[in-house]
Structure 1
Amino acid sequence: MLQLLLSVYIFTFLMGVPANVLAFWTFCQKVRTRAAPIDVLLLNLTISDLIFLAFLPFKMKEASDNMAWVLPFPLCPFSGFVFYVTIYNSTLMLTAVGVERYLGVAYPLRYALCRRPRYAVVACVVIWAVTSINLSVVYIMPYAQWGHAQPPPTCYMEFTEAELRILLPLRLELFLVLFCIPFLICCFCYVNFILVLSRLPNISRRRRLRAIGLALGTLVVFAVCFGPYNASHVVGFVHFESQEWRNVALLSSTLNACLDPFIFYFSSAAVRSMMKRCFKNVAAKMHILKCG
């Protein structure tokens, strides 16, 4: 299992960093020139993924040390807090993107009157605040375990019965508030998004199919990436224990940092244009090297 964890972490890091850096640069340019709410939301999703990837090496080190925590212990609560906050940021950011798309298609004229980038900025600030408050237990619990004795040998993995009485209901709340509700909102928005698009006569078939594919793909990514880990919260609450397979279930959420750039590619013409330029430049340099 440890080899699987380490392999997925390394793969996610190597694939996710360049793709998200490229998306970050593109959205920064777009926001500076002509910002739209969708660009602000996708920029914040990219930032969240990059922060997640920046802290992924701590998980790599943990897996390579047989899940023992050998780094300075204060890094345990801080890295864990940032790691899980960015995961749940993705669920809420993807939900906000779905709402923005639905409103833009279902109520184009009415939404155009109040379509301001600053509202997207406010939504992003609220999302960061909500996830940080809800995930504060990840930061507090390791310090409670540390106390005045020696630091525990693992990081946020082994809990007493008293700690589980606090932790398991909070995890259930994460499942309901930060996964179930956002997923239901996404389903409502994208299903209606598809229905509205299918009835619009002035959209080309190619554009309609791309938008529908993006909507369905986003829902699949949401369910597959975040479903297994959040399901472990429910199972743990029912059985009153922290499930051993939580780290394996977390792998699908980890891979989300690689899948988000695909959503960026189909969501933004600016990202598609930037990627095409990058591929052309790489192909041109390879051709020069081959000819030389």
Structure 2
Amino acid sequence: MLCSHRLLLAGYIVTFLMGVPANIVAFCTFCCKVRRRAAPIDILLLNLTVSDLIFLAFLPVKMKEAADGMAWLLPYALCPFSGFLFYVTIYNSTLLLTAVSVERYLGVAYPLRYAVCRRPRYAVVASVLFWVVTSLNLSIVYIMPYAQWSRGKDNDSASASPPPTCYLNFTKAELDIVLPFRLELFLVLFCVPFLICCFCYVNFILILSRLPNIGRRRRLRAIGLALGTLVVFATCFVPYNASHVVGFARRESEDWRNVALLSSTFNACLDPVIFYFSSAAVRSMLNHCIRNVAAKMHILRCGGGAAETDR
């Protein structure tokens, strides 16, 4: 168990250090693009960036929990709130990545018809709908910790102390509620989006491979991006969602769920890679930042060398 806590802490730290600067660059880029000329995919990617940034903002809470051996030593009111936003942003990312796959598929499958119907407001409506759907589905993550605390108060009125863990240990009655809920998450918020992504990207690749008027380099880059996005989707979200099915079948909350959650955590620092290859604006912004940093380092080195010469 100690090794799993250390693994969680290390994974959270790596994700935080890599994800925060990359997502801030992406956020600034998409904000500028949306302000100048909003395209549906820019709005979807901006919402995906916001989702990742909210996730990363609450990741230090999970770091503290892992550092304390999964005991909850923070104010208990932070437990349901941080857990709710933590899981909402994970599942919101699956829906937004699915919407991006649909947008790309429609763009190559029905280019003329989709160009006529393509409106940024549809992406805005879809993004709002995704936030509402995930928030409603994950509401139990907010409610259950308070229910556990209330149960402790009922059993021992003299002791009003909150539970020692956050959304980890459940009674049989609580599992009867939590396990079907997790299976519903697996079916509705993972299986359906994943199947849609597979359909869109497989057909996207087949259509691109048959188009004669696209250069080989551009075609291979688009196909590589589609395959990479699909691999990231599967790698990040399959392990944790598989724990829902295993837990439902065995009628228990699996101990390895938190380790499986690490793969979903890494999605916050893998999404910027998708942004980099799917958006020329992000590539331009990142290259600009790198050039500025390199120029400043060069000035510092030259200044240091000049100082040594003066001595």
> What is the aligned partner in structure 1 of residue 46 from structure 2?
43
User: Does residue 70 of structure 1 match 2:81?
Assistant: no
List alignment gaps of at least 5 residues for structure 1: none
List alignment gaps of at least 5 residues for structure 2: 154-159, 304-311
Q: Rg bigger for which structure?
A: 2
Aligned partners of 1:291, 1:257: CA distance in 2, in Å?
A: 37
> What is the aligned partner in structure 1 of residue 280 from structure 2?
269
SS across alignment from 1:285: helix
Residues 191-229 of structure 1: CA distance to partner in whole angstroms, max 9, x if unpaired? 000011111111111111111001000110000000000
From 159, 178, 185, the equivalent of 1:167 is 178
User: Does residue 106 of structure 1 match 2:100?
Assistant: no
The one-letter code matched in structure 2 to 1:74 is A
The one-letter code matched in structure 2 to 1:244 is D
Aligned partners of 1:40, 1:139: CA distance in 2, in Å?
A: 28
Following superposition of structure 1 onto structure 2, how do residues 78-157 of structure 1 map, counting pairs within 5 Å?
A: 78-147=81-150, 148=153, 149-157=160-168
> What is the aligned partner in structure 2 of residue 61 from structure 1?
64
Aligned partners of 2:70, 2:180: CA distance in 1, in Å?
A: 25
In the TM superposition, residue 287 of structure 1 has moved relative to its aligned partner by: 1.6
In the TM superposition, residue 150 of structure 1 has moved relative to its aligned partner by: 2.5
From 212, 218, 226, the equivalent of 2:223 is 212
Matched positions, count: 292
From 265, 273, 289, the equivalent of 1:278 is 289
> What is the aligned partner in structure 2 of residue 22 from structure 1?
25
- Percent identity reads 81
> What is the aligned partner in structure 2 of residue 236 from structure 1?
247
The one-letter code matched in structure 1 to 2:122 is Y
Aligned partners of 1:278, 1:205: CA distance in 2, in Å?
A: 30
> What is the aligned partner in structure 2 of residue 251 from structure 1?
262
The one-letter code matched in structure 1 to 2:189 is L
In the TM superposition, residue 291 of structure 1 has moved relative to its aligned partner by: 2.0
The root-mean-square deviation of aligned C-alpha atoms, in Å, is: 0.7
Aligned partners of 1:10, 1:266: CA distance in 2, in Å?
A: 25
> What is the aligned partner in structure 1 of residue 156 from structure 2?
none
Residues 154-211 of structure 1: CA distance to partner in whole angstroms, max 9, x if unpaired? 0000000000001100100000100111000000000000011111111111111111
The one-letter code matched in structure 1 to 2:164 is P
From 253, 257, 260, the equivalent of 2:271 is 260
Runs of 4+ in 1 over 4 A off after TM superposition: none
SS across alignment from 2:167: coil
User: Does residue 196 of structure 1 match 2:199?
Assistant: no
TM superposition score normalised by structure 2 = 0.93
SS across alignment from 1:158: coil
> What is the aligned partner in structure 2 of residue 158 from structure 1?
169
> What is the aligned partner in structure 2 of residue 6 from structure 1?
9
From 28, 36, 49, the equivalent of 1:33 is 36
The one-letter code matched in structure 2 to 1:240 is R
From 177, 186, 194, the equivalent of 2:188 is 177
The one-letter code matched in structure 2 to 1:7 is A
Aligned partners of 1:205, 1:277: CA distance in 2, in Å?
A: 28
SS across alignment from 1:35: coil
Aligned partners of 2:285, 2:211: CA distance in 1, in Å?
A: 29
SS across alignment from 2:58: helix
> What is the aligned partner in structure 2 of residue 186 from structure 1?
197
Aligned partners of 2:43, 2:217: CA distance in 1, in Å?
A: 26
The one-letter code matched in structure 2 to 1:256 is N
User: Does residue 225 of structure 1 match 2:236?
Assistant: yes
In the TM superposition, residue 71 of structure 1 has moved relative to its aligned partner by: 0.9
